[in-house]
Amino acid sequence: MDRTDFIGRAIIMIKQMTYFTLMLFMMPLAQASESYLPARDMVEQALDNYPVYQQARQNIETSRSVADSLRYGPHELTLSSTYTQRQISGLTQLDEYDASLSKGIRLFGKGRLDRKTAALEVEIAENIAEDARHQAALTLKQFWMDWIKAAEIHRINQDYVEIHRKSLAALEKRRALNNASDLDVGLAQSALQTALALQAEAEGNEKLARDILAKTFPEIILPHHAPRLPVPGEPVNMEQWLDLVVSRSHELTIVEKKAEQLGVIARRSGLDRFADPTLGVRLFNEQGGDETGIGVTISVPIGVRQRGAAAAQGRAEAKAAEYNLAYMRREIGIAAMRDVQNVLNAYKTWQMTLSAFESSQFVIEKTRRSYELGGHDYAQLLLAEQQFLASKKAEVDARHNVHNAWLQLKIDAHELWLENVH
C-alpha cells in the first residue's frame, strides 16, 4: 500500500468513527424526543381547529339532543276536548262538552333502557370526535414528514449541482491546457444538466409539500428551512406497544359502544311486545250542565305482529353488531402488530441502507482521489457519483421511513399529541 492510499484509508476510518460516535450520542435523544416536530401548542391548536374534528364535535351536540329525546320518551301529555250543541225536539238547545288529559306510561323498565341508550349515544359521538382528532394527527404527521423528506432531497440535489458545476469548470480549464478531452467536458455538461433537472424537480416537490402543509394546517408556523431528521433510535421492548394501541383505539371503542347500544335497543324492542298503556283523566258536562262528571280512561294497543317483527329485527342487529365487534378486535390487533412490525422493518432496512451508503461513500472518496491522481477517467468518476447520489437518497428515504413508522405507532398508541385522550 502506497503512502497516498494509507492516508486516504486513515481519513475515511476517522470519518466513520466520528459518524458512529455521533450515532451513539444521538440514539437516546432520538427515542426520547421528536425535536424535528412542530411545537406542541401549535399542534394542539391545529388539531382543535381541523374542520373534520370540529364537525364531529358539533355532532356531539346533535347526539345530546337525540339522547334527551330518548330520556324523555315517546309519550307526551295529550289534551283533547269536544264541544257539542244538542237540540232536542220541542226543548231548548243544550251545550255539552268534555275534556281529557292523557299520557302513555313506559312499563317494564323501558325508561331505564332508554336512558342507557341515550348515554351510549353521547359516548359514541364523543369517541367519533376523538377518532377524528386522531385522524387529523395522522394527517398532520404525514404532511409534515413529506415536507421534511422533500426538503432533504432538495438539499442533496442542490449539493450535487454544485459538485457538477465545479467538475465542469475544472474540466474546461484542463481542456484549455490540453489535459482533458471534449468527451469528458460533454459528459460533465450532461451531468450538470441532469443535476439541474433533478434539483428543479426536488425544489418543486418541496414547495408543493410545504404549501399543502401550510394550507391544511394554517396554525402551524413553518420555519424557513425544514428541520433535519436525526439518527433513529433502536426499537426496544416493542411488545408493550401492542396493548396500548388496542386499548386506546377510539375506532374499537366506537364499535364496542354501538354493539352495546344495539343490545340495549334489542332488549327494549323485546319489552315493546307488551304495548304501553295510555292513562287519562276525563271531565265532562252534559245536558246543559245538569250532568257533570270526572272519569279515568285507559287504552292499550292489542296488535302484536308489528312489535314482534321489530323485536326480531333488534335481536338480529344486535347479533350482527357482536360479530362486527369480534372482527374489529382482530383488525385493530392486526393494525397494532403492523405498526410495531413496520418500525422494526424500517429500522432494519435503514441499517442496511446506511451500510450501503457508507460503502458508497468510501468508494466515491477513493474514486475522487484516484481521479485527481489520474488513476480513473471521468466516466468512471461520474458513474461513482451517480451511485453515491442514489445511495444517499436511499438512506434519507429509509431514515424517513423509520421516523414515520415510529410516529404512526406513537400516535396510534396516544403517546404523541393525543396523550390526554385515551
CATH number of the domain that residue 106 is part of: 1.20.1600.10
Q: How far is CA 253 from the centre of its chain?
A: 16
For 105-161, write each residue's pLDDT tens digit. Answer: 888 898 999 999 999 999 999 999 999 999 999 999 999 999 999 999 999 999 999
CA angle (214, 216, 221) in 5-degree steps:
35
23 and 47 belong to one structural domain: no
20 and 99 belong to one structural domain: no
Which range marks the domain in which residue 18 is found?
Answer: 1-33
Instruction: For residue 321, give the C-alpha cell.
Output: 353488531
Q: How far, in Å, CA of 117 to CA of 70, rounded?
A: 7
285 assigned to some structural domain: yes
Q: How far, in Å, CA of 318 to CA of 312, rounded?
A: 10
267 and 349 belong to one structural domain: yes
Does residue 12 have a pLDDT over 60? no
Does residue 9 have a pLDDT over 80? no
pLDDT number for residue 422: 60
52 and 2 belong to one structural domain: no
23 and 163 belong to one structural domain: no
203 and 258 belong to one structural domain: yes
202 and 344 belong to one structural domain: yes
393 assigned to some structural domain: yes
pLDDT number for residue 7: 44
Query: What are the residues whose beta carbons fall under 8 Å from the beta carbon of 276, sequence distance 6 or more?
Result: 75, 104, 105, 106, 107, 110
123 and 261 belong to one structural domain: yes
157 and 18 belong to one structural domain: no
20 and 106 belong to one structural domain: no
For 52-106, write each residue's pLDDT tens digit. Answer: 999 999 999 999 999 999 888 888 889 999 988 877 766 677 788 889 999 988 8
223 and 135 belong to one structural domain: yes
Query: What are the residues whose beta carbons fall under 8 Å from the beta carbon of 268, sequence distance 6 or more?
Result: 110, 113, 114, 117, 314
pLDDT number for residue 74: 85
145 assigned to some structural domain: yes
pLDDT number for residue 421: 64
Structural domain count of the chain: 2
346 assigned to some structural domain: yes
Q: How far, in Å, CA of 134 to CA of 415, rounded?
A: 11
Residue that the C-alpha cell 404525514 belongs to: 142
126 assigned to some structural domain: yes
